[in-house]
Amino acid sequence: MLEQLSGLEERYTKLEQLLSDPSVVNNRAMYTKYVREHGDLGKIVPVFRTYKQTIDELEESRELLSDSDPEIKALARTEIDSLSAELEKLEEQLRLLLIPKDPNDDKNVLLEIRAGTGGDEAALFAGDLFRMYHRYVDAKGWKFELLSENITDSGGFKEVIAMVKGKGAYSVLKYESGTHRVQRVPTTETQGRIHTSAATVAILPEVEEVEVHIDPSDLKFDVYRASGPGGQCVNTTDSAVRITHLPTGLVVICQDQKSQHKNKAKAMTVLRARLYDLENSQQQDEISEKRKNQVGSGDRSERIRTYNFPQGRMTDHRIGLTLYKLDTIMQGDIKEIIDGLSTFYQAQALKNDNSANFA
């Protein structure tokens, strides 16, 4: 591992030289690539340099143990204890920094929420989740853009899709994928009985055109008059777009914009993300069970969280986290949940990273 870190430090120094080279500065693509790589290494190299400096200081303190002066020996022992504890912290930090980074972590996110079992109550809960994430995104200063919605008569969502734009959005939200269960008394329930319903959340990284090849001949386009709310223009022109990817049978519909071209562009964005996710899911099915345990399955059919309204309780079943502040959670206060999930999965990856050994 130390050899790996030394190699990264050498690369970091080389990048500093390259970024001051006029030929690199004048090449926008190359310069952007090197700046990104330099930024990534900039999180590791300073920690590694502090680690090396701490080792040197520790060796110097150990040498003082042979001094004839008892006071110097006592000070050396105190210093050794302090530096040893610091070294242990730095080793742990370096192990975490060397965990292979998800290549999608810095990407924007497609947030898809669908009503599951439970009829109108499930659709209303899907709307509650949509607003919860919207508020969380707003609080972080990210951009939230509605792409598509299918509203029920009760005011809930059969399906709603939004784009979340912000640095590291995928790394923050990726563990939200799964089945979210709600337990509460529906407004239409006259006997006061608690009903259980569910909605599914999918977090997909935004995908560039170059990342997924789509053969135009594999696509079937249909345009038709939009339905539902949206204004006179939306409902009287053929602006709605439905795209069918023939090889997979995936269907994407977008009708929220007045412009057919804008709806088509948004639908293609969603289709690329779904095809990318489908390809990755198929690849994950082929890898070993050990690797699945390491990174987490991310299976959206898995029930991940329960929202119990009568008790004001939220439980995330993956990490055993229970919080009795459901009101604030539904207002977008989900940082504690997201931080807990991130810490848990980092620890899982670290536990299974057999290469993270100091020599």
- List every span in the chain annotated with CATH 1.20.58: 2-97
Architecture of domain 109-206+317-348: 2-Layer Sandwich (3.30)
Cβ(241)–Cβ(225) below 8 Å = no
Dihedral angle at the C-alpha atoms of 276, 278, 280, 282, nearest 10 degrees?
A: -150
Give Cα 357 distance to the centre of its chain.
27
| 112's tokens | 């898809």
In this structure, are residues 173 and 203 in contact, taking their beta carbons and an 8 Å threshold?
Answer: yes
CATH class of segment(s) 2-97: mainly alpha
CATH 3.30.70.1660 domain locations along the chain: 109-206+317-348
pLDDT score, position 176: 96
Every domain of the chain with CATH number 3.30.160.20 lies at 212-283
Q: In degrees to the nearest 10, what's the CA dihedral of 242, 280, 202, 316?
A: 170
Instruction: Report, in angstroms and rounded to the nearest whole number, the Rg of the chain calculated over CA atoms.
Output: 26
Coil, strand or helix at 113: strand
How many Å apart are CA 322 and CA 4, to the nearest integer? Answer: 40
Partners of 197 in beta bridges: 182
Average pLDDT, the chain: 85
- In this predicted model, what pLDDT tens digit does every residue of 231-243 receive, in sequence order? 444 444 567 888 8
User: Tens of pLDDT along 204-227?
Assistant: 988 876 567 888 888 898 887 766
Among 47-61, 162-176, 188-202, the range scoring the smallest mean pLDDT is: 188-202
- With the CA atoms of 215, 217, 220 and 223 taken in that order, what torsion angle do they form, in degrees rounded to the nearest 10? 90
- Answer for the pair 164, 137: CB distance below 8 angstroms, yes or no: yes
Report the percent of the chain where pLDDT is more than 90.
50
Q: How would you class 249 by CB atoms within 10 Å of its CB: exposed for 0-12, middle for 13-18, buried for 19 or more?
A: exposed
Residue-by-residue DSSP string for 253-291: EE-SSS-HHHHHHHHHHHHHHHHHHHHHHHHHHHS-HHH
What number of residues does the chain have?
359
The CATH fold assigned to 212-283 is Double Stranded RNA Binding Domain (3.30.160)
pTM of this structure? 0.67
